[in-house]
Amino acid sequence: MKVENEIMNEVIKVNQLNKKYPGGQQALRDFSLVVKEGEIFGFLGPNGAGKTTAIKILLGLLEATSGEVQVLGGNPAQPKVRRGLGYLPETANYYEFMNVLELLRFYGVLCDMSKEEIDRRGDEILELVGLSEVRRRPLREFSKGMLQRAGIAQALLHDPQLLILDEPMTGLDPLGRKRMRDIILSLREQGKTVFFSSHELSETEVVCDRFGILKQGELCWCGHPSEMVGDGDVNLERIFLRFIQEE
């Protein structure tokens, strides 16, 4: 029974993932990772390290060249698994003629939500991300940070069990970042799992339970700075720089 529970708790499980793009670029090398239910996991790595590639594979949007992926106990391509997932893409591509309310209705329908549920939850979420006052403006008039907030609203709308966010802090002003931090912390309180990539080490350090550093497609460190005992004053930035600069 204990073993079964432990397996259930593995919200993300990838084993020996490799991804080689058709052009020949090896974006992931033997990437293995387990993220447990309720964890807030910070996925770090320099530009081009393979974070977005790994995220797209976790979502079933991209196929790995080899290796195994299990998300919420199943294959991410399965509709029942997808419904438990909230995703913020690195670059959003929304219909610009829509306003954010229409955007949420569009996604809500895709997630099988009723109109009443979409409207009730939509109000709540727009308040949470600070877009209530611009809810009727078309997305083409949105600034970069406003679009990012719309993306976060879309990812949260159906109250998913697992949030996979590709650089959620990017483009947000200081208040937006604080809101994002608070959202992540409140998701933790609700027992949700959050897996997100970021270049904002200090922002990430405050909210995450565990971190992984990807370098040229390989996971070169996974853990928490507090585990680096006997190393003097360790913080996430120092660990990051040490692993990234190491040959």
Residue number closest to Mg ion, CB atom = 52
How far is residue 150 from each of residues 117, 177, 193, measured CA to CA in Å? 18, 14, 20
Residue number, 51 or 82, with CB nearest to ligand ATP: 51
Residues forming contacts to Mg ion in the complex (CB under 5 A) are: 51-52, 90
Instruction: Give least dist CB 27 to ligand ATP, A.
Output: 4
When CB distances are held under 5 to 8 angstroms depending on the partner's kind, the choice from Mg ion, ligand ATP, none that residue 119 binds is none
CB 42 within 8 A of CB 198: yes
Among 41, 40, 34, smallest CA distance to 10 is for: 34
Instruction: Give least dist CB 54 to Mg ion, A.
Output: 9
Residue number, 44 or 126, with CB nearest to ligand ATP: 44
Residues forming contacts to ligand ATP in the complex (CB under 6 A) are: 21, 23, 25, 27, 45, 47-53, 90
CB 48 within 8 A of CB 218: no
When CB distances are held under 5 to 8 angstroms depending on the partner's kind, the choice from Mg ion, ligand ATP, none that residue 49 binds is ligand ATP
Instruction: Give least dist CB 189 to ligand ATP, A.
Output: 29
Residue number, 51 or 215, with CB nearest to Mg ion: 51
Residue number, 27 or 194, with CB nearest to ligand ATP: 27
Per-residue tokens: 141: 């008039």
Instruction: Give least dist CB 166 to ligand ATP, A.
Output: 7
When CB distances are held under 5 to 8 angstroms depending on the partner's kind, the choice from ligand ATP, Mg ion, none that residue 223 binds is none
Residue number, 193 or 197, with CB nearest to ligand ATP: 197
Residues β-bridged to residue 218 = 215
Instruction: Give least dist CB 139 to ligand ATP, A.
Output: 22
Instruction: Give least dist CB 1 to Mg ion, A.
Output: 40
Residue number, 24 or 230, with CB nearest to ligand ATP: 24
Residue number, 46 or 74, with CB nearest to ligand ATP: 46
Instruction: Give least dist CB 55 to Mg ion, A.
Output: 8
